[in-house]
């Protein structure tokens, strides 16, 4: 009998005893979110729970984030670990929900589900810590910081040895388009590349009564917002393979003053690896063309962010086999326009990124990165079951 067959009874019992505690842990993190690189309290909370379970987590050199190894009670020989990854950080945005566990940190919110990801990976680790006799091979828990910061805290984790000698890596992400109980899988590219550009415009400024005597930076900023996406798209074989969306535009403070500075911030996305490699130069050239002859100066700070996450077919199949045993439904999902720094892990080792359904059946579809985002917390139990079964499935397939 394999570990997949042997674990359900003990896991059922453990979840019955600790399920409410996991939900409370998630709500604690949700109420106290921390920005990228500032996840000190979250790191301490996870570290405390791991140490109470008898484990010895190692904090990353950057000061936030943890790596923790678990090994079976009996020797597993030379077998290499499978890594389970979670992200700790929150977003710089308000929490608009009216719930007891709403964010207590003004302007910071777990509106992407990282609190759920962390709870699920921690839950799987704690289960195995108390059932080492059921652990079929070594597992490495990776709690990384700064996923929301381009190019991502995964690079810090990798530089600190988080996936050295790892055989495979699995992560999961909340999917508000899928009902709780469902798991979404896709081999190949499942996310898109995500870059960021900060454009700083400068000019002499002036009076709004005489815009013809100066450089109207507000009008120029508006022109960039309107024209840049289309001008870049015209250079692509498929014009739909890039999205340029401005999330921040600031120019001046007074209605009767033409400002001397304007700052625009844009996200730049593509599902194509080839287009991603060409975008920095293409975007820079097109900004220069639009600004040329206006009398303004443009400074471009282009951050080449994350590539697409590419799921390994073999690892995905192992997760599919595990999900078939624990989920209500296993569905195919499309490649997303969203970016995720899990991509850096999958460029180093075979891995797969799983979509975890968090929508209440019959309820509204809540968007990620929105102030009202929340989850059906029953997804936490399924996430733990899925990761526990995936570990067993992985080692059964590689013995």
Structural domains for the chain: 3-191+308-398 (3.40.630.10), 193-306 (3.30.70.360)
- Whether the pTM exceeds 0.75: the reply is yes
pLDDT band of 146, cuts 50, 70, 90? very high
**214: CB partners within 8 A, 6+ apart:** 203, 204, 205, 206, 258
Rg (CA), the chain: 23
* Closest C-alpha among 96, 102, 85 to residue 142: 85
**Average pLDDT estimate for 69-74:** 91
Q: Which residues, at least 6 apart from 98, have a Cβ–Cβ distance to it below 8 Å?
A: none
Residue 94, pLDDT > 50, answer: yes
Mean pLDDT, residues 114-142 taken together: 97
User: Half-sphere exposure of residue 86, counting CA atoms within 13 Å on the CB side?
Assistant: 31
Query: DSSP secondary structure string, 343-370?
Result: HHHHTTS-EEEEEEEEEPTTS--PPTTS
Of 6 and 346, the one with more pLDDT: 346
In this predicted structure, the answer to whether residue 218 has a pLDDT above a threshold of 50 is yes
- Write the CA distances from 391 to 69, 267, 315, 397, 398, integer angstroms: 13, 36, 11, 10, 11
Is it the case that residue 1 has pLDDT exceeding 70? no
SS3 262: strand
Average pLDDT over residues 154-173: 98
Range in 65-79, 284-298, 364-378 with the lowest mean pLDDT: 65-79
> Which pLDDT score, from 0 to 100, does residue 77 have?
66
Residue 193, judged by CB atoms within 10 A of its CB (0-12, 13-18, 19+), counts as buried
Band of residue 73 on the pLDDT scale cut at 50, 70, 90? confident
Structure token digits, residue 328: 């209500």
Query: Which residues lie closer than 8 Å to 33 by C-beta, 6 or more apart?
Result: 90, 91, 95, 103, 105, 108, 109, 110, 115
Please give the pLDDT value at position 394. Answer: 98
Output the average pLDDT for the chain. Answer: 95
Identify the pLDDT of residue 399: 81
Query: Which whole-number Å values give the CA distances from 142 to 43, 180, 306, 345, 373, in the listed order?
Result: 11, 24, 19, 11, 25
- Which pLDDT value is given to residue 78? 78
Q: For residue 276, is pLDDT > 70?
A: yes
The reported pLDDT for the residue numbered 76 is: 58
Mean pLDDT of 245-252: 96
Q: What is the mean pLDDT of residues 90-109?
A: 97
Q: For position 334, what pLDDT does the model report?
A: 96
- Other C-beta atoms closer than 10 Å to the C-beta of 74 total 9
Cα–Cα distance for residue pair 312/353, rounded to 1 Å? 9
Of the pLDDT bands very low, low, confident and very high (cuts 50, 70, 90), residue 74 is confident
pLDDT of res. 3: 42
**pLDDT classification of 265: cutoffs 50, 70, 90:** very high
Average pLDDT score over residue span 21-45: 98
Does 4 score more than 50 pLDDT? no
- Mean pLDDT of the 116-142 span: 97
User: What distance separates the 2 farthest-apart alpha carbons in the chain?
Assistant: 83
pLDDT for 9: 73
345 with 191: CB under 8 angstroms? no
């Amino acid at each position: 009998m394999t570990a997949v067959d042997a674990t359900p009874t003990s896991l059922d019992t453990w979840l019955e005893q600790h399920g409410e505690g996991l939900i409370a842990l998630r709500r604690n993190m949700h109420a106290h979110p921390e920005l990228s690189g500032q996840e000190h309290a979250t790191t301490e909370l996870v570290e405390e729970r791991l140490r109470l379970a008898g484990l010895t987590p190692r904090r990353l050199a950057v000061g936030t984030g943890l790596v923790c190894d678990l090994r079976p009670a009996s020797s597993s020989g030379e077998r290499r670990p499978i890594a389970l990854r979670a992200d700790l950080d929150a977003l710089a945005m308000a929490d608009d929900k009216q719930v007891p566990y709403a964010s207590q940190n003004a302007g910071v919110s777990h509106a992407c589900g990282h609190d759920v990801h962390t709870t699920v990976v921690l839950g799987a680790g704690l289960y195995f810590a108390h059932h080492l006799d059921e652990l079929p091979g070594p597992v490495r828990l990776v709690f990384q910081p700064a996923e929301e910061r381009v190019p991502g805290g995964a690079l810090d984790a990798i530089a600190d040895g988080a996936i050295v000698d790892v055989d495979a890596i699995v992560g999961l992400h909340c999917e508000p388009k899928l009902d709780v109980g469902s798991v979404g899988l896709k081999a190949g590219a499942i996310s898109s590349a995500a870059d960021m550009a900060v454009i700083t415009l400068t000019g002499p400024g002036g009076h709004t009564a005489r815009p013809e005597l100066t450089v109207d930076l507000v009008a120029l900023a508006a022109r960039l917002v309107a024209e840049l996406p289309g001008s870049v798209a015209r250079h692509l074989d498929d014009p739909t393979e890039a999205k340029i969306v401005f999330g921040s535009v600031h120019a001046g403070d007074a209605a009767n003053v033409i400002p001397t500075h304007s700052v625009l911030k844009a996200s730049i996305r593509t599902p194509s690896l080839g287009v991603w490699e060409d975008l920095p130069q293409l975007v820079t050239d097109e900004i220069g063309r639009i600004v040329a002859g206006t009398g303004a100066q443009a400074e471009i700070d282009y951050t080449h962010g994350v590539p697409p996450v590419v799921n390994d077919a073999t690892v995905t199949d192992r997760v599919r086999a595990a999900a078939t045993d624990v989920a209500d439904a296993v569905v195919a999902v499309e490649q997303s326009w969203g970016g995720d720094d899990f991509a850096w892990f999958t460029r180093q080792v075979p891995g797969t990124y799983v979509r975890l359904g968090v929508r209440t059946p019959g309820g509204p579809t809540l968007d990620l990165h929105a102030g009202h985002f929340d989850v059906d917390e029953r997804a936490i139990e399924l996430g733990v079951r899925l990761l526990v079964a995936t570990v067993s499935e992985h080692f059964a397939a590689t013995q």
